[in-house]
Amino acid sequence: MLGDIWIFDLQNVTIGHVLRININLIQKFVNIIQDGIGFKMYEVHVINAPAVGQTIFSLFKQIVKPKIFERFMFHENIDELHKYIPKAYLPKDYGGEEPSLDEFKEMYTKELRKGSTRDYLIACCEQVSNEKLRPGDCNEEYLVGTFKKLEVD
């Protein structure tokens, strides 16, 4: 099963950021992450979290399933992060061996601007379904109801 390890750096988070949080939008985001995406979130590392950052994640604790929230780890510094994630996988910004975030951004932008990548992305955006090939009348009324008396042959 595919999975991710996320790292949140809250070094520059201020009370102004917290005041702009839209709880409904956060709830939708959390629902998509928990139930709607086909990958597993193995760990979430939070570094450089000021007191404001702790407030943000106390809000998350109310929204996120307990099993998911157990995967959150708070680190006071980058050295603590290295105990969980080897330096070989981290960017130079976090004491790792991979390119820095600015270098990665430049490489990523260069790749996206290539003609072949651009053409591929445009082709993906132009893909649509041919509704004439859809079998029968698209009547969704048969989906309404419950499965209390579902019989399987």
Q: Same structural domain for residues 79 and 13?
A: yes
- Angle of CA points 96, 70, 79, to nearest 5°: 25
From CA 53, how far away is CA 32, in angstroms rounded?
Answer: 22
Q: Is 122 inside any structural domain? A: yes
- For residues 47 and 120, membership in a common domain is answered with no
pLDDT (tens digit per residue) in 97-152: 999 999 999 999 999 889 999 899 999 999 988 888 877 665 655 555 555 665 66
Helix, coil or strand: residue 43: strand
The 10s digit of each residue's pLDDT in 29-54 is 888 888 777 778 889 898 988 877 67
Q: Do 7 and 78 fall into the same domain?
A: yes
Among 51, 85, 119, identify where a domain stops: 85
